[in-house]
Structure 1
Amino acid sequence: MLTYDVLIVGSGGAGLYAALKSRMEEDLHVAVLTKVYPTRSHTGAAQGGVNAALANKDRTDTWEDHWFDTVKGSDYLADQDAAELMCREAPQVIREMEHWGCPFDRTKEGKIAQRPFGGASKIRACYAADKIGHVMLHTLYEQGLRHGVNYFNEWQTLSLLHDGQRCLGVNALDIRSGKLHTIQAKAVILATGGYGRIFWTRTSNAYGNTGDGAALAYRAGLALKDMEFVQFHPTGLRRTGILMTEGARGEGGYLLNALGERFMSNYAPEKMELGPRDLVSRAIETEVREGRGGSDGEVFLDITHLGKERIAKRLPQIRQLCIDFEGVDPVLEPIPIKPTAHYSMGGIHTDFNGLTPIEGIYAAGEAGCVSVHGANRLGGNSLLDILVFGRRAGVHALEYARHTEFKPMPKEALAPAETCIKALTDGDSKETIADIRKDMGDLMAEKAGIYRDAAGLTQAVAGLVELKARYKRLKIKDKSNIFNTELGAALELGNMLDLAQVIAQGALERAESRGAHYREDFTKRDDKEWLKHTLATRNSDETPKLHFEPVTITRFQPEARTY
């Protein structure tokens, strides 16, 4: 049996930072278990910037300004103590990344360059052209190799093992051989990213973003928090949902409807295109609904006025993506875009160190929910989240593992994984992964997307029960062991269906509009009844059980958001 002091599941920015910090004591054995090669993780798709109040561009910026912008952007659902901690520590983690060699763009004075981002009152997004996630990911992976972190690439985690009080480890599938393994660990950090693929093709997320860590925690009895809050980024490519960075608007890009009107003046007259993402996405959806969109339900992101030289320097990846996936050169013509499911504000309920109620089990990054984003995340705060809380989880897990002994692993520890695989491989059925997955994506996009109401959400809840019943009849046709991609897709589909139920049930219960959660039958924010977090645990019948906890308010009293 494989044994590690600290095991990180997931190899994005949060996981790699956590692994690096866990490995700072060289006598500890640390490993990263990931279903993809680490530098293919979805952090690499982040384009625009990472927030920190360095005051390099705007000398008046402070961490307190950043804190207020974050709380306001969250529609006052963020826990203010958690948001304060993140904004205070932001300059520290950026400087640490800089010292490790992360190649940020620079000002003429040699300082880290910063650009405007949506919902921010000051210029604070640190960037590297339009490839910030890519350079961060490679920097962290390089440092992990240097410090002796072990990597299990192309392994899929199937179950989280604990005795009710303490972590024991995980069960995992070696995708390359098809063999099942139990891995013993004093501490496990879940850093598997978000679950945008629940909306299937209407998402900017990679195919691997199927909420694996959140689903593992949910089935292990841990609570998921604020799952109904799913952010739709305003600017995804029309056909594929591929992200067009907020940095394009930060550089001065315009949003135009099919009539050529710069319509954001009707929705955010001060901030215009740099309003918060929930507001801009609803504005686009409203333009399309009212007949001012294109023939395919799109509007347009126009950066032609920036000029070829500036686009080549600041937005080179954006240009290439447009040419490759839309056949459009943004130097010459506007980019057709639609809102796309982009970020999961909800996740595994944790404290400031990523710790869950079970000793030794942590979550960090998009898989976790410390509640720094509340009902709507500001652009540039996701990469900051993975750095601050990946770092804190790694440091805390290191200290925990140093002072903890391994607990004996039960002989039957592998049984749940074996049962799961057997259920999917035995027998035969006409149900297919592709059909169930498409039906799930269509249902969630239509009934639990940008605009929601009780009737649609009730249909979503009922439809997901039916889809789960179909999933239980699913039998995969590929019985091979080596690189069985059909088995992997089936396991991911089960994870997504579990989480989709939590999203839909939470959205149905929350009878208000707040941030990314917009109810057409309850259009106002209701602080009296709903200034609280949704927590979901799993019933014995596999449906979500919801309860609620108050939001932590330390300084900023809720007020109307205007931009």
Structure 2
Amino acid sequence: MLNHEVVVVGAGLAGMRAALEVAKGADVAVLTKLYPPRSHSGAAQGGINVVLHPDDSLESHIFDTVKGSDYLGDQDAIEVLCREAPRDIYALEHMGTNFTRASSGKLAQRELAGASFPRACYAADLTGHKLLHLLYEQLLKSTIPVYNEWYITSLLVEDGVCRGVLAYDLTRGCLETIRAKAVVLATGGYGRTYDRTTNALCNTGDGMALAFREGTPLADMECVQFHPTTLFGTNILISEAVRGEGGYLLNQEGDRFMRRYVPSKMELAPRDIVSRCIQLEVRDGRGFQDEYVHLDVTHFGEEKIAQKIPQVRDLARRFAGVDVVCQPIPVQPAQHYSLGGIRTNVWGETRIAGLLAAGECGCVSVHGANRLGGNSLLETIVFGRRAGMRALEYASQLRKAKAPSASRISERMKEVAGLLARQGPENIHALKNRLGRTMREKVGVFRVGPEMEQALAEIRTLGERFGQVGLRSRGLIYNVELLAALELQHLLTLAEVITLGALTRRESRGGHARSDYPERDDAHFLKHILAFQEPGRIRQEFEEVSLTRFRPEVRGY
């Protein structure tokens, strides 16, 4: 059994930022199923929001975020996010982040969708990539041990206290127990529940599903963000920076169609609105091949493209054979971000003592029913730091970590062994593909009750079929089939929670758009939906939204 005072699971931006904070006063280790520079945080491109310009204001950033969330975001948490942004951005700059500069020498800022002011600091269209490598550099400079290619299979929770984790070391092919006073989950989102997603293959909602299993609730899981512009045929993210710099969305008639829907914001309307508009254009026969629209930057010129969106040009050329200097980019909406997650407070604490969560796997609820571009990177840094601070404080107050019981460890190990030994006829990858298609077709950009009922039945059937999967590989060293089976378990659990929440929320709010309930219903659903795992069923309950400054009003742009 290994021992650390704090274990951070996940090595994206939130995980590394938490670990660096804990390391100021406690023994901390990072456990990650892939090498840190490959974490999905690197896919974020557009920028990171912060109020720096004298003509901007904290009040505006808070209001834009509240309004963008369609009033489902908790305003006390949103204020923490926005108020603490400058200290964290300056800290990142002092660490060495190569932010793009304005001609004055100050940090350049661009406008992203839903913002009332250009407040997103950026590094061309590589912001997440640059930040990820910066924090990895800080991690390497520290003495923090990193367990690369270790996959968490269980949280070891007893008597309402998290005592450590059980993890699968793919390199050595063994299961290891790590005892800890505190565990910080920073395992990312559940994007792979959908077959069309911008998310990396690693985004299988592991931390969410494991925490849910141990009794802590998941919040607002029905709120899924679909990004309007992903590269057709690949669903690679085409950054919001493209529209922030002045890109046009065009249908097959050459019409800049956003002027008909949101004339005041055009392409810079919030993501949920733009995604729905694109879907409507395609549905009404004005898309290309009944699948996509065009994102046009040919008016930029080659120099601006090279300076502002070099990665987008490279991605379009490599994966679609399109040179954006002279050709439009074919784009379509796809799942992008997990707005819900493990319910936490503003310090990352869950309802299980010693278990914290930060980043996309957590739901402190700063995004509500729709996230603004530039706020996700900010969330990872602000709440990753805060979760690290609280984990350090919690661990420092405990004299000694109590070891997980041998019976609990043995029980969890037997579950993995049982999965490895299965010899049924079902194929893991066929089940996963079917799940992804079901979620896209029936719990997508537009939703309707009967289709979601069908999806729920299909998900439960897939869960039953999962009990009959057969693994061909019996070894433990780099058994990627076993890893895929463990991940699919999580995806099936989370897909059911998402769909149940979407059925319960009988209204349209932000990214949750129900054709059978097209209006927002504050009287009944200005509330978070919490999901709890109970024997044989998922229980739901409502929780009030924190309203501190702004009362709900019509969300017009």
Is the shorter-chain TM-score for this pair beyond 0.5, marking a shared fold? yes
> Could you tell me which residue of structure 1 aligns to residue 426 of structure 2?
431
Indicate whether 1:33 and 2:31 are aligned: yes
SS in 2 for 1:167: strand
**Are the counterparts in 2 of residues 256 and 263 from structure 1 also a CA contact under 8 Å?**
yes
Q: Is the 8 A contact 1:258 1:292 kept in 2?
A: yes
> What does residue 276 of structure 2 align with?
282
Report the Cα distance in structure 1 between the residues aligned to 2:290 and 2:89, rounded to whole angstroms: 41
Q: CA deviation at 1:296?
A: 4.7
1:181-192 equivalences under 5 Å are 181-192=176-187
**Structure 2: which amino acid aligns with 1:402?**
S
Contact 1:182 1:413 in 2 (8 A): no
Partner residue of 2:459?
A: 464
RMSD: 0.9
Indicate the residue corresponding to 1:81 in structure 2: 76
What residue in structure 2 maps to residue 136 of structure 1? 131
Q: 2:45 aligns with which of 44, 47, 62?
A: 47
Instruction: Answer with 141-150 or 273-282: which moved more.
Output: 141-150
User: Secondary structure in 2 aligned to 1:529?
Assistant: helix
Mapped contact 1:258–1:299 kept (Cα < 8 A): yes
Alignment of 1:112-261 (within 5 A): 112-200=107-195, 202-261=196-255
Match of 1:13 in 2: 13
Partner residue of 1:323 out of 299, 317, 323:
317
SS of the aligned residue for 2:327 comes to coil
CA distance in 1, matches of 2:386, 2:254: 47
- Are the equivalent residues in 2 in contact too, given 1:23–1:29 (CA < 8 A)? yes
Equivalent residue number for residue 409 of structure 1: 404
Partner of 1:492: 487
Q: Which sections of structure 1, spanning at least 5 residues, go unmatched? A: none
Does 2:294 match 1:300? yes
Counterpart selection for 1:547 from 533, 541, 544: 541
Change (3 A) 1:165 1:424: closer
CA shift, 1:64, in A, is: 1.1
1:545 Cα offset (Å): 1.1
Aligned positions of 1:361-372 closer than 5 A: 361-372=355-366
2:551 aligns with 557
Q: CA offset at residue 62 of structure 1? A: 1.1
Tell me what 1:382 maps to: 376
- Check the 8 A contact 1:228/1:346 in 2, yes or no: yes
Check the 8 A contact 1:423/1:475 in 2, yes or no. no
Matched, 1:110 2:105: yes
| Alpha-carbon distance, 1:112 to partner | 1.2
TM-fit CA distance, 1:342: 0.2
Aligned partners of 1:159 and 1:416 also within 8 Å: no
TM-score by length of 2: 0.99
SS in 2 for 1:414: helix
Q: Structure 1 CA distance, aligned partners of 2:335 and 2:498?
A: 13
**Corresponding residue SS for 1:342:** strand
State the percentage of identical aligned residues.
53
Q: How far 1:403 sits from its partner (Å)? A: 1.3
Matched, 1:90 2:77: no
Deviations 1:305-351 (A, max 9, x none): 00111101111110010011111111111000000100010000001
For residue 412 of structure 1, give the secondary structure of its aligned residue in structure 2.
helix
After superposition, residues 54-69 of structure 1 pair within 5 angstroms as: 54-55=52-53, 59-69=54-64
SS of the equivalent of 1:555 reads coil
Q: Number of residues paired by the alignment?
A: 556
CA distance in 1, matches of 2:529, 2:250: 36
Deviations along 1:349-385, one digit per CA (max 9) or x if unpaired, are: 0010000111110000000000100000000000000
Equivalents in 1 of 2:294, 2:210: separation in Å? 39
Task: State the Cα distance separating 1:113 from its structure 2 match.
Answer: 1.0
Any residues of structure 2 matched to 1:522-541 within 5 Å, and which?
522-541=517-536
Corresponding residue for residue 519 of structure 1: 514
The Cα offsets for residues 167-221 of structure 1, whole Å up to 9 and x where unpaired, read as 2000000011210011001010000011111002x00000000000101101111
Amino acid paired to 1:5: E
Structure 1 range deviating more: 479-488 or 30-39: 479-488
How far does residue 412 in structure 1 lie from its aligned partner after superposition? Answer: 2.1
**Distance in 1 between the 2:273 and 2:409 partners?**
47
Q: TM-score, normalised by structure 1?
A: 0.98
Counterparts of 1:470 and 1:427, CA distance in 2: 12
Choose 137-146 or 516-525, whichever is displaced more. Answer: 137-146
Query: Aligned partners of 1:403 and 1:162: how far apart in 2?
Result: 19
The worse-fitting range, judged by mean Cα deviation, of 428-437 and 498-507 is 428-437
Distance 1:373 1:416 in 2: 37
Residues 283, 290 of structure 2: 8 Å contact kept: no
1:485-538: CA deviations, max 9, x gaps?
A: 111111111111100000000000110000000000000000001000000011
Say which SS state the counterpart of residue 188 (structure 1) adopts: strand
Q: Which moved more, 1:414-423 or 1:336-345?
A: 414-423
Offset, 1:424: 1.8
Distance 1:349 1:320 in 2: 38
